[in-house]
Structure 1
């Protein structure tokens, strides 16, 4: 079996995220690289890994429900007319090579393979961190997907197959389980932000007696936001809200920034996030 791969990302002199590819993960979680733990500069963990409620949620990761009938999300597969079914169709994202690694940036090349081991997708991703203030830092995620053999990639989700609102798929952030209080809101939506196309959405929470934290998500593309804050806490810029096709020879590229801050939601955190994005190179 291939050896596990891991890389630590550092900011302000401390490890703020551990990026891991572990080939020993069970097939039913659709093994893939993940970020966990991710922490604030104050040391509070803001990701959840394989929680009991959804064991296929792996910290912060790039995952897609269906690509050419292969499940790259983990768990059940939604089948039109039948609902969610446990199928033996889980794929995996395999480490191919590192393109760059240092304290504040990692570039990774991955091969997405089906259960038969045949590579369907080639991916290049980059993770970058930088400090914003004494209590906030930013994670930048960029990824590009392309067909491995030049055939069309058909990407869809439970929503595309008829399960209303279940359009998850893309860079998904699972917050820790058991939070005492969770608040999700957007720039234009201070209520149910799920399915909105707000320029940014925020998620905040804390455990009872623990330190509060706030995350602000800003996506380059105006994909709908998949947001959960009741049964569990998680955010995804949902590229698979509707069925998506990547033509032969084409690519699918997405970019997302996440501001990770100590403290409850505030205008200061939001202003910091907006200023940081404006400073990002085009």
Structure 2
């Protein structure tokens, strides 16, 4: 396992990124962010929890890419339910095109059964917002290099209603009480889960996470939300139908996450989302392209 890369906000360490974690095959090994903290140092991610040992902080995970599991754990099979299969893939870190204290541009290969199915271009940027909040801007672009058309699915598209997880995913820490859940125009896990909303929020003990789709395509993806069973939020690349990616085609998504100290209300969350998305757009435009470096 390589040492974690530390991302900083105005000089303060706020996230650690592991590019080559030492994980068993059934965890679908992949890079992930953990720990991620608020500016006051409150942890807001969790890895390898007892309830779902394949949850790995914050990152990108997909349960079904052409039948291969890049999420970890059991695979939901129509007519059989959750099934242990030897179908796990690996997201291999190939290197960095940019490695700054507050920004990473990474190249990855999604490999399964000794074949590279997807090449990924991933960008992560840390942006200061206020004295008590910062934002993580994460974009991933998945290009089909398999030589044939493939599609992305989820347990929901394979027959398990309400389980359309796959894409960006953030596992928050379990606490004595479930976090509060709210969106731009809804309250509670039942109302927010599966909704198409500009943003959704989890608020725990001394922290709030606000997740926002930052492109039109990303905003069309419904949100996957859990609070009572475990705390986690993700996007749904394949909510009610599989997402096709033609040979040579690319699927791109961008999620901006506000990480704040304290419990935000709806107005405060909306204000920080507006600031975060606007700021990260300008930062992306200004950032120069740099040559690749080993990572």
Structure 2 equivalent of residue 168 of structure 1: 165
1:216 maps to which of 197, 210, 213: 210
Structure holding more helix per residue:
2
TM norm structure 2: 0.89
Helix, strand or coil at the partner of 1:166? coil
Helix, strand or coil at the partner of 1:137? strand
Residues 1-282 of structure 1: pairs in structure 2 closer than 5 A: 4=2, 6-114=4-112, 116-191=113-188, 192=190, 193-206=192-205, 212-219=206-213, 220=215, 221=218, 222-241=220-239, 242-266=241-265, 267-279=267-279, 280-281=281-282
Distance 1:94 1:7 in 2: 16
Contact 2:178 2:231 in 1 (8 A): no
Shift of 1:19: 0.8
| RMSD of aligned residue pairs (Cα, Å) | 1.4
Q: Which runs of 4+ in 1 moved over 6 A?
A: none
Helix, strand or coil at the partner of 2:4? strand
Contact 2:119 2:145 in 1 (8 A): yes
TM norm structure 1: 0.93
Helix, strand or coil at the partner of 1:275? helix
Deviations for 1:143-173, whole angstroms, at most 9, x for unmatched residues?
1001123321211011001110100000100
Distance 2:278 2:10 in 1: 21
Q: 1:229 to 1:24 in 2, by over 3 A?
A: same
Contact 2:104 2:123 in 1 (8 A): yes
Distance 1:80 1:268 in 2: 42
Q: Structure 2: which 5+ runs fail to align?
A: 286-295
Larger mean CA deviation between 149-158 and 89-98 belongs to 149-158
Distance 2:114 2:245 in 1: 21
